[in-house]
Structure 1
Amino acid sequence: MKKVVLSTAILATLFGAGPAAAAEEVNVYSYRQPFLIEPMLNEFTKQTGIKVNVKFAKKGMAEKVQQEGEYSPADVLLTVDISRLSELVDKGVVQKVDSKVIDGNVPAQFRDSDEEWFALTTRSRAVYSSRDRVGKLGDDFDYLDLAKPEFKGKICTRSGKHPYNVSLVASIIANHGEAEAKEWLKGVKANLARKPQGNDRAQVKAISEGLCDVSLGNSYYLGKMLADKEQKAWADSVYLNYPGQNANGTHVNISGMALAKFSPNKENAIKLMEFLTSDFAQGMYAEVNYEEPVKKGVASSKLVSSWGSYKADDLPLTTIADNYAKAVKLIDEVQFDL
């Protein structure tokens, strides 16, 4: 009997005393940059006493969690773009979350109908235009206009295969059909000033250098450039435009979260997910990364508000996800990046 008691004590020392040990931490896999989420996670720990362990990655999250299977330490998965959230669901690495708190904070449009993913912020796919050579684009301007002859040799963009652009194409398919979307891609490609390359900020830099006059880019990058001493001159050279104000509206994507299928700290994970939809965390997203909070009543930053209000495309995010594969196919067919 003494040996049994001793063995039990040793095991408890080595692996922790079951639930009591698990209650002290939560593990996060994140595509989101450390500077953005660490302040929020630190506040969560301060309020709850739960330690947050984070693994940051640039790609391969779904594959990693899938390979780890039931032995995965992941609890909460943080990512950007509806396509990446859908991929987590398609690969079967997430589970349903039943939380009245999250449902109350995240509008139905911005969460999965099966409660397997939830948006945390929204970000618009805007168009930047040269202040000197183009000026501010009017409310009549739409994404479809980028394929018109007047933009010949004037457009810069990152790869058409980047998720931000694929999601935009998916929205155009949903709103206008595959045939029109393909013709639009052909027209935009014909109007490119250079081969697709770089990130969204690199396109604004190209505008400031006179290499092109307009570019596609997420709106929050304007805030990031204005806050950077070296990049402020790029930002000062452009106007931010919200396309589709007299049509379907500006395409909006999201950042979001999901609960890992084999979460070893499920209770703590849900507490963290609820916290990330709270006024405090939503406000921090708005101030630090210039994104739009999904929770109603939480204001955008003063800087973002100064860019003006806009009508967002009200396409359900699931519809964009459903058209994602079609969008990739069309981008390949027109050889957009070549």
Structure 2
Amino acid sequence: MTIKTALAATALASCLLAAPALAQSVNLYTTREPALLNPVIESFTKDTGIKVNAVFLKDGLQQRVQAEGANSPADVMLVVDVGEIQAIADAGITQPVQSALVDKTVPAALRGAGNNWVSLTQRARIVVVSKDRVKQDAISYDELADPKWKGKFCIRAGQHPYNNAFFAAHLARNGAEKTETFLKAIKANVARKPGGGDRDVARDILSGQCDIAIINTYYIGLMSKATNEQKGWYEAIKPLKTTFAGGGTHVNVSAAAIAKNAPNKDSAVKLIEYMLGEKAQTLYADGNFEYPVNPDVKEAAAVKLLGALTPDTTPLGDVAKNRKAASELVDKVGFDN
């Protein structure tokens, strides 16, 4: 070997040693708002060294992954509704999340069949009442059908996804006949045509238009931090401990699945596991006053404000599969008319 060749070989070896190793990465497709998810993504990358390539979509996530087919770069799909995640699983574009940590941390009712999706945070749908005019602290959902609330109950449209999921949970637990009776009874109690948003029912309690309403818990949290008229709406209501008779509280979830053709499966599992850890659960849940699914997280903002949550044990996969039938019952009884 000539001196010139030896020097060239030495230089090449030095370059290879100096070159950084190929960084690990994971590709995330999500319909979550960037502001809610970015703190967790940044924390994950800082703690693990794995870069997250996030694609934020308003809608059409399932259709995009299907169109991309076997060459899809998606590793993790993260959405904000159990109906969405179940539809993704039913489309055959997921694979099981194989993780002892997931099995230990997430209750079976909050996972899809065969672990084809996993819940990350929870939003409870509970009853609120006028702090001044109603003197009770707990209620079952079926008590909303009591005639004593006639002309006093407010609710957003029955076909809205929040209520559709709630009615689907009632259907999964009680069957079509009882759910139809329930829908007719609470429709008979409304103070106004179902509509508006969840925060609007708090406004209407303050005005005296209604005494009782149903609302997602994170809206209560957001109103509690408001610096406008919504703070007054919050101060007018009292959240009740709300459960199905003999069961727990209805929840909807944000949830994640691993894509069937995930090119970075190991990193996908690590991201989901990280999002279930105490640090990420606190960051993620506090971003929108949602409840963590990790039972070891005791200091989340929603827990501090509203107390601990005991979710109903009806599998959310069963709830999702009853959403179409629940929608049909809403139309059948003319709930939104």
- TM superposition shift of 1:188: 1.6
Structure 1 residues 127-142: aligned runs within 5 Å: 127-133=127-133, 135-139=134-138, 141-142=139-140
Quick check: 1:290–1:300 contact (8 Å CA) kept in 2? Answer: no
Partner deviation per Cα, 1:139-173 (whole Å, 9 max, x = no partner) = 3x221222222222222222212222122112212
Query: More displaced, 261-270 or 276-285?
Result: 261-270
Question: Helix, strand or coil: the match of 2:296?
Answer: coil
CA–CA distance in 2 between the matches of 1:303 and 1:270?
27
Quick check: 1:155–1:212 contact (8 Å CA) kept in 2? Answer: yes
Partner of 2:8: none
Question: Helix, strand or coil: the match of 2:221?
Answer: helix
CA radius of gyration, larger in: 2
Q: TM-score, normalised by structure 1?
A: 0.85
Residues 61, 205 of structure 1: CA spacing in aligned structure 2 closer, same or farther, 3 A cutoff?
Answer: farther
Quick check: 1:154–1:192 contact (8 Å CA) kept in 2? Answer: yes
Partner of 1:35: 35
Gaps of 5+ in 2: 1-19
Quick check: 2:303–2:309 contact (8 Å CA) kept in 1? Answer: no
Quick check: 2:126–2:249 contact (8 Å CA) kept in 1? Answer: yes
Residues 105, 176 of structure 1: CA spacing in aligned structure 2 closer, same or farther, 3 A cutoff?
Answer: closer
- TM superposition shift of 1:224: 1.2
Quick check: 1:156–1:194 contact (8 Å CA) kept in 2? Answer: yes
Partner of 1:79: 79
CA–CA distance in 1 between the matches of 2:197 and 2:69?
33
Query: More displaced, 325-334 or 54-63?
Result: 54-63
Partner of 2:11: none
Structure 1's consecutive aligned runs of 4 or more residues displaced over 6 angstroms after TM superposition are none
Quick check: 1:142–1:247 contact (8 Å CA) kept in 2? Answer: no
Residues 272, 312 of structure 1: CA spacing in aligned structure 2 closer, same or farther, 3 A cutoff?
Answer: closer
Partner of 2:155: 157
- TM superposition shift of 1:315: 1.6
Question: Helix, strand or coil: the match of 1:256?
Answer: strand
Partner of 1:187: 185
> How many residue pairs were aligned?
317
Q: TM-score, normalised by structure 2?
A: 0.85
Partner of 1:109: 109
Query: More displaced, 218-227 or 194-203?
Result: 194-203
Quick check: 1:28–1:74 contact (8 Å CA) kept in 2? Answer: yes
CA–CA distance in 1 between the matches of 2:333 and 2:67?
34
Partner of 1:324: 323
> One-letter code of the match for 1:179?
E
Structure 1 residues 164-243: aligned runs within 5 Å: 164-230=162-228, 231-243=230-242
CA–CA distance in 2 between the matches of 1:321 and 1:32?
19
- TM superposition shift of 1:262: 2.4
Partner deviation per Cα, 1:71-106 (whole Å, 9 max, x = no partner) = 333221111232221111111221222222322332
Partner deviation per Cα, 1:241-273 (whole Å, 9 max, x = no partner) = 122376333222322111122223323222211
Gaps of 5+ in 1: 1-19
Residues 191, 255 of structure 1: CA spacing in aligned structure 2 closer, same or farther, 3 A cutoff?
Answer: same
Identity of aligned residues (%): 42
> One-letter code of the match for 1:71?
N
Query: More displaced, 89-98 or 186-195?
Result: 186-195
Quick check: 2:142–2:244 contact (8 Å CA) kept in 1? Answer: no
CA–CA distance in 2 between the matches of 1:71 and 1:222?
43
Partner of 1:89: 89
CA–CA distance in 2 between the matches of 1:144 and 1:210?
23
CA–CA distance in 2 between the matches of 1:84 and 1:314?
20
CA–CA distance in 1 between the matches of 2:99 and 2:149?
48
- TM superposition shift of 1:306: 4.5
RMSD across aligned C-alpha pairs, in angstroms? 2.4
Match of 1:144 among 142, 145, 153: 142
Residues 73, 198 of structure 1: CA spacing in aligned structure 2 closer, same or farther, 3 A cutoff?
Answer: farther
Quick check: 1:245–1:310 contact (8 Å CA) kept in 2? Answer: no
CA–CA distance in 2 between the matches of 1:82 and 1:330?
19
Partner of 1:253: 252
